[in-house]
Amino acid sequence: MKKKTLIASLLALIITVSVFAGPISNAQANFNKQFKQATNVTWSKVGEREKVCFTFEGRAVCAYYDADGKLFSITRSLLSTELPLILSTQLKQTYKDYWITNVSEVANDEGTSYYATLENADHEMILKSTNISEWAVFQKFKKD
Protein backbone atom coordinates (compact mmCIF):
# COMPACT_ATOMS: atom_id res chain seq x y z
CA MET A 1 0.00 0.00 0.00
CA LYS A 2 2.83 2.41 0.86
CA LYS A 3 4.50 1.60 -2.45
CA LYS A 4 1.34 2.50 -4.43
CA THR A 5 0.96 5.75 -2.49
CA LEU A 6 4.59 6.66 -3.14
CA ILE A 7 4.28 5.91 -6.87
CA ALA A 8 1.03 7.91 -7.11
CA SER A 9 2.66 10.87 -5.29
CA LEU A 10 5.69 10.82 -7.60
CA LEU A 11 3.48 10.63 -10.67
CA ALA A 12 1.42 13.60 -9.46
CA LEU A 13 4.62 15.58 -8.81
CA ILE A 14 5.96 14.86 -12.31
CA ILE A 15 2.68 15.93 -13.92
CA THR A 16 2.54 19.11 -11.82
CA VAL A 17 6.11 20.08 -12.69
CA SER A 18 5.62 19.47 -16.41
CA VAL A 19 2.39 21.51 -16.45
CA PHE A 20 4.00 24.52 -14.74
CA ALA A 21 7.24 24.33 -16.70
CA GLY A 22 5.39 25.18 -19.90
CA PRO A 23 6.77 24.90 -23.41
CA ILE A 24 10.33 26.00 -24.06
CA SER A 25 10.49 29.30 -25.95
CA ASN A 26 12.61 29.96 -29.04
CA ALA A 27 14.87 32.14 -26.88
CA GLN A 28 15.39 29.32 -24.39
CA ALA A 29 16.08 26.80 -27.15
CA ASN A 30 18.63 29.14 -28.77
CA PHE A 31 20.22 29.93 -25.43
CA ASN A 32 20.60 26.22 -24.66
CA LYS A 33 22.44 25.76 -27.98
CA GLN A 34 24.62 28.86 -27.66
CA PHE A 35 25.62 28.60 -24.00
CA LYS A 36 25.74 24.90 -23.15
CA GLN A 37 28.20 25.47 -20.28
CA ALA A 38 26.10 28.17 -18.56
CA THR A 39 25.28 27.84 -14.88
CA ASN A 40 23.14 29.83 -12.42
CA VAL A 41 20.62 30.61 -15.18
CA THR A 42 17.71 32.98 -14.42
CA TRP A 43 15.11 34.24 -16.91
CA SER A 44 13.00 37.40 -16.84
CA LYS A 45 11.07 39.65 -19.23
CA VAL A 46 12.22 43.16 -20.12
CA GLY A 47 9.50 44.72 -22.22
CA GLU A 48 9.12 42.52 -25.29
CA ARG A 49 12.51 40.89 -24.77
CA GLU A 50 13.55 37.88 -22.77
CA LYS A 51 16.55 38.41 -20.52
CA VAL A 52 18.67 35.58 -19.24
CA CYS A 53 21.45 36.11 -16.71
CA PHE A 54 23.94 33.36 -16.06
CA THR A 55 27.51 32.48 -15.24
CA PHE A 56 29.71 31.56 -18.18
CA GLU A 57 33.41 30.80 -17.88
CA GLY A 58 33.40 32.35 -14.42
CA ARG A 59 31.79 35.62 -15.58
CA ALA A 60 28.42 37.20 -14.92
CA VAL A 61 26.68 37.48 -18.30
CA CYS A 62 23.23 38.60 -19.43
CA ALA A 63 21.79 37.93 -22.88
CA TYR A 64 18.71 39.52 -24.42
CA TYR A 65 16.54 37.76 -26.99
CA ASP A 66 13.90 39.36 -29.20
CA ALA A 67 10.33 38.08 -29.64
CA ASP A 68 11.49 35.63 -32.34
CA GLY A 69 14.12 34.14 -30.05
CA LYS A 70 17.06 35.81 -31.83
CA LEU A 71 19.99 36.96 -29.69
CA PHE A 72 19.70 40.77 -29.56
CA SER A 73 22.59 41.75 -27.28
CA ILE A 74 24.87 40.35 -24.63
CA THR A 75 26.55 41.99 -21.66
CA ARG A 76 29.30 40.78 -19.40
CA SER A 77 31.06 42.16 -16.37
CA LEU A 78 34.70 43.11 -16.71
CA LEU A 79 37.52 44.27 -14.50
CA SER A 80 38.72 47.79 -15.33
CA THR A 81 42.07 46.27 -16.29
CA GLU A 82 40.31 44.26 -19.03
CA LEU A 83 39.19 47.34 -20.92
CA PRO A 84 41.05 48.25 -24.09
CA LEU A 85 44.24 49.96 -22.96
CA ILE A 86 43.40 53.42 -24.27
CA LEU A 87 39.97 53.40 -22.54
CA SER A 88 41.48 52.16 -19.30
CA THR A 89 44.19 54.82 -19.36
CA GLN A 90 41.76 57.63 -20.18
CA LEU A 91 39.38 56.49 -17.47
CA LYS A 92 42.08 56.52 -14.80
CA GLN A 93 43.56 59.86 -15.91
CA THR A 94 40.38 61.83 -16.57
CA TYR A 95 38.30 60.52 -13.67
CA LYS A 96 40.98 60.11 -11.00
CA ASP A 97 38.69 61.67 -8.36
CA TYR A 98 36.17 58.83 -8.79
CA TRP A 99 36.27 55.17 -7.91
CA ILE A 100 35.16 52.56 -10.39
CA THR A 101 32.23 50.49 -9.13
CA ASN A 102 31.28 48.56 -12.28
CA VAL A 103 32.59 47.92 -15.78
CA SER A 104 30.69 46.03 -18.47
CA GLU A 105 30.94 45.19 -22.14
CA VAL A 106 27.85 45.25 -24.36
CA ALA A 107 27.88 43.55 -27.75
CA ASN A 108 25.05 43.84 -30.27
CA ASP A 109 24.46 44.45 -34.00
CA GLU A 110 25.97 47.95 -33.66
CA GLY A 111 29.25 46.58 -32.30
CA THR A 112 30.86 46.49 -28.87
CA SER A 113 30.58 49.27 -26.30
CA TYR A 114 31.91 49.59 -22.80
CA TYR A 115 30.20 51.12 -19.79
CA ALA A 116 31.85 52.22 -16.55
CA THR A 117 30.02 53.26 -13.41
CA LEU A 118 31.97 55.76 -11.32
CA GLU A 119 31.29 57.32 -7.94
CA ASN A 120 32.66 59.96 -5.63
CA ALA A 121 31.21 61.42 -2.45
CA ASP A 122 28.70 63.62 -4.34
CA HIS A 123 27.96 61.97 -7.68
CA GLU A 124 27.49 58.71 -9.49
CA MET A 125 27.87 58.56 -13.25
CA ILE A 126 27.78 56.05 -16.02
CA LEU A 127 30.20 56.51 -18.90
CA LYS A 128 29.84 54.90 -22.30
CA SER A 129 32.66 54.40 -24.76
CA THR A 130 31.93 56.44 -27.90
CA ASN A 131 34.50 54.52 -29.84
CA ILE A 132 37.52 52.46 -28.88
CA SER A 133 39.35 55.49 -27.45
CA GLU A 134 36.92 57.90 -25.73
CA TRP A 135 34.36 58.06 -22.96
CA ALA A 136 31.19 60.16 -22.84
CA VAL A 137 28.87 60.71 -19.90
CA PHE A 138 25.87 58.48 -20.47
CA GLN A 139 24.05 59.32 -17.19
CA LYS A 140 24.93 61.36 -14.12
CA PHE A 141 23.22 61.41 -10.74
CA LYS A 142 23.66 63.57 -7.68
CA LYS A 143 23.80 61.54 -4.47
CA ASP A 144 21.36 62.43 -1.71
The domain in which residue 134 lies consists of: 78-144
Cβ neighbours around 61 below 10 Å, total: 19
Nearest CA to 140 out of 98, 112, 93, 104 is that of 98
Number of independent structural domains in the chain = 2
pLDDT, mean over the chain: 85
Determine, yes or no, domain membership for 124. yes
Nearest-5° Cα angle at 93, 91 to 98: 65
Residues 29 and 65 grouped into a single domain? yes
At 24, the pLDDT band (50, 70, 90 cuts) reads low
In angstroms, the CA 91 to CA 86 distance is 8
Cβ-Cβ contacts under 8 Å for 27 (sequence gap 6 or more)? 50, 52, 65, 69
Contact 108, 114 (CB under 8 A): no
pTM attached to this predicted model:
0.74
Residues 43 and 83 grouped into a single domain? no
